Structure 1
Amino acid sequence: MKKWIAIIATLGLLGCFLYANQQWLHLTKYAITLKKLPKEMDGLKIVQISDLHHAEFGHEQSKLIEKVKNEKPDMIVITGDLVDRYHYDLDQSLEAVEGFVKIAPVYYVNGNHEVSLNDVPQITKLLKDIGVHVLENQTVSYYRNGAAIDIIGIDDPLNGKETAQMLNEALVGTDTETFRLLLAHRPEYYQDYVNAGIDLTFNGHAHGGQIRIPGIGGLVDHQMNLFPTHIEGIERQDQLTQVISRGLGNSRVNIRLFNPPEIVVATLHSEK
Structure 2
Amino acid sequence: MVRKIVILFICLFVFWVFLEVNNAWIQTTRYTIKSKKIPKGFDGLKIVQISDLQDATFGKKQEKLMNKIKKAEPDLVVITGDLVDSNRYDLANSRDLIEKLVAYTDVFFVLGNHEAAINQVDEITETLSSLGVHVLRNQAIQLKRDHQVISILGVDDPLMAGEQQPEKAMGQMVQEALSSVPQGSYTILLSHRPELMAVYVENEVDLVFSGHAHGGQIRLPGLGGLIAPGQGWFPRYTSGEHQEGKTTMIISRGLGNSLFPYRIFNRPEIIAVTLKTI
Superposed pair shares fold, TM > 0.5: yes
**What residue number does 2:243 align with?**
236
Asked whether the 8 Å contact 2:195–2:231 carries over to 1, the reply is no
Deviation string 1:176-233 (CA, Å, 9 cap, x unpaired) is 3111110100011112112222111100000111100112211223679321111110
Bigger Cα displacement from structure 2, 156-165 vs 221-230: 221-230
Bigger Cα displacement from structure 2, 245-254 vs 193-202: 193-202
**One-letter identity of the residue aligned with 2:71:** N
1:177 aligns with 2:178: no
Secondary structure, in 3 states, of the residue corresponding to 2:57? Answer: coil
Alignment map for 1:20-35 (pairs within 5 Å): 20-35=21-36
Deviation string 1:110-156 (CA, Å, 9 cap, x unpaired) is 00000001211100000011110000011111112321111110000
Asked whether the 8 Å contact 2:56–2:257 carries over to 1, the reply is yes
Gaps of 5+ in 2: none
**What residue number does 1:267 align with?**
274
Secondary structure, in 3 states, of the residue corresponding to 2:205? Answer: coil
Asked whether the 8 Å contact 1:143–1:149 carries over to 2, the reply is yes
Alignment map for 1:48-87 (pairs within 5 Å): 48-87=49-88
1:19 aligns with 2:20: yes
Secondary structure, in 3 states, of the residue corresponding to 2:175? Answer: helix
1:37 aligns with 2:38: yes
Runs of 4 or more above 4 Å deviation: none
Q: How many residues align?
A: 271
Deviation at 1:72, TM superposition (A): 1.2
Asked whether the 8 Å contact 1:184–1:203 carries over to 2, the reply is yes
Q: Let me know the Cα RMSD of the aligned residues.
A: 1.3
Gaps of 5+ in 1: none
Deviation at 1:69, TM superposition (A): 1.1
For 1:90 and 1:151, locate their aligned partners in 2 and report how far apart those are by CA, in whole Å.
25
**One-letter identity of the residue aligned with 1:110:** L
For 2:204 and 2:219, locate their aligned partners in 1 and report how far apart those are by CA, in whole Å.
32
Asked whether the 8 Å contact 1:138–1:169 carries over to 2, the reply is yes
Higher helix share: 2
**What residue number does 2:102 align with?**
101
Asked whether the 8 Å contact 1:222–1:251 carries over to 2, the reply is no
Secondary structure, in 3 states, of the residue corresponding to 1:188? Answer: helix
**One-letter identity of the residue aligned with 1:228:** P
**What residue number does 1:227 align with?**
234
Deviation at 1:23, TM superposition (A): 0.2
For 1:31 and 1:172, locate their aligned partners in 2 and report how far apart those are by CA, in whole Å.
28
Asked whether the 8 Å contact 2:216–2:226 carries over to 1, the reply is yes
Secondary structure, in 3 states, of the residue corresponding to 1:189? Answer: helix
